[in-house]
Structure 1
């Protein structure tokens, strides 16, 4: 897996300095589909829904900054994509074998 340096994600300083920080999800677009490792770390799934909503807002801002999109329109498009998948109700979870090592792909921890 290789990415151009301008697309590399880094750990925010506030997270790196927080001994109680928990990584919840890693996501990739691979072979024309989303692939992720998830950790259901909250007792109440509602909290994860809150995180997804906040992530959608942040991503809309990212589209505005990086690609010049209108932030409100980008947010609406993101929510439309979410709604389309929810309405289709055809997503299946396929768990990949867990590999040994620090990076695991497609695993639920």
Structure 2
């Protein structure tokens, strides 16, 4: 596997690295024109994952404001709009890759 360009590399936050009880729940990539992810349904209550996705959307909107100069509220609304567009579709399928 080739290494990603530096501007796309993510690092593990120190607070997570130092927490022996931390659990990784999702890894996501954009690959070959589509999202690819590895997920672990570790929460017993699926709403907790929804909470995590909502917080991720808020943090991503902030990232768009800082990195790309977007209005943070508008970026958040666009993220929610994209979320809504996918939820309305009937053609989303889960494909499990062989290990």
TM range (shorter): over 0.9
After the TM superposition, which parts of structure 1 deviate over 2 Å for at least 4 consecutive aligned residues? none
Higher RCO by CA contacts (8 Å cutoff, separation 6 or greater):
1
Alignment of 1:40-59 (within 5 A): 40-59=41-60
Provide, for residues 49-95 of structure 1, a one-character-per-residue CA deviation record: whole Å limited to 9, x for no partner.
00000000000000011111110000000000000000113210000
The number of residues matched between the two structures is 98
Identify the residue that residue 30 of structure 2 maps to in structure 1: 29
Measured after TM superposition, the shift of residue 2 of structure 1 is 3.0
In structure 2, runs of 5+ residues without a counterpart are none
Alignment of 1:72-91 (within 5 A): 72-91=73-92
Q: Give me the whole-angstrom Cα distance separating, in 1, the residues matched to 2:70 and 2:3.
A: 26
In structure 1, runs of 5+ residues without a counterpart are 99-109
For the aligned residue pairs, the C-alpha RMSD in angstroms reads 0.8
Q: Give me the whole-angstrom Cα distance separating, in 2, the residues matched to 1:88 and 1:66.
A: 30
